[in-house]
Amino acid sequence: MTREPIFPPPASPGPGPSIYPTGPAQPDKTPPWAIAIGVISIIYASLGLICTPVSLVSSRVMPSPPGFEEMLPPWFNTYSIVSGLVGMAVAVILLVAGIGLLRRRPGAASLHVVYGWIAILMGIVGMVVIFAAFDFSRLEGPAKAGAIGGVAGGIIGFAYPIFLLIWFSRAKIRQQTAAWQHPG
């Protein structure tokens, strides 16, 4: 009677590693710059989608400083509502662009460029409207400081759209994102 070993002998190691890939191909990893820009775009768009409605509602509910309403032209209220709604639509574009960038989707880079141009155009129109609507010589104290801060904030608001236009115009980035559109 022969006894079976408790542990079977080790299997033969086989022919060795193959030089040909086995199993499904591993997709390329999302580049770090795409992750960073995608996340920033999602956060920035989310803030726009949350803060714009809050701002529109609070401007209707909160009382204005005395004399402030008389300083505004009658069309300014309509402008603020329309620009807020357009701004929310543009925030949706940026949100889709950010998610697309994280998922390496074709068109994500183009959506960022579209967002950049629209945001710059909206910023310029907004500044023109503000300068047309307000008589800055009548503003005093905190109102004048708020107006100056608003203009400075508007100028700073151009930074991200301009960055996106520059970034996505680089040849290296265009080549990388073009490869997403034509895998293999």
Please state the pTM of the whole predicted model: 0.77
Report phi then psi at 170, rounded to 5.
-70, 135
Residue 13 in any domain: the answer is: no
* Spatial distance between the Cα atoms of 87 and 110, rounded to a whole number of angstroms: 18
Residue 116 in any domain: the answer is: yes
* pLDDT digit string, tens, across residues 67-115: 667 777 889 889 989 999 999 999 999 999 999 999 999 899 999 999 9
pLDDT at 142: 76
Residue 23 in any domain: the answer is: no
Number of domains in the chain: 1
pLDDT at 27: 57
Residues of the chain with confidence (pLDDT) below 50: 25-26
Residue 17 in any domain: the answer is: no
> How many beta carbons lie within 10 A of that of residue 115, not counting itself?
26
Residue 9 in any domain: the answer is: no
Structure tokens at 1: 């009677």
Residue 3 in any domain: the answer is: no
Q: Give me the domain span that covers residue 117.
A: 32-59+69-181
pLDDT at 11: 65
Residue 4 in any domain: the answer is: no
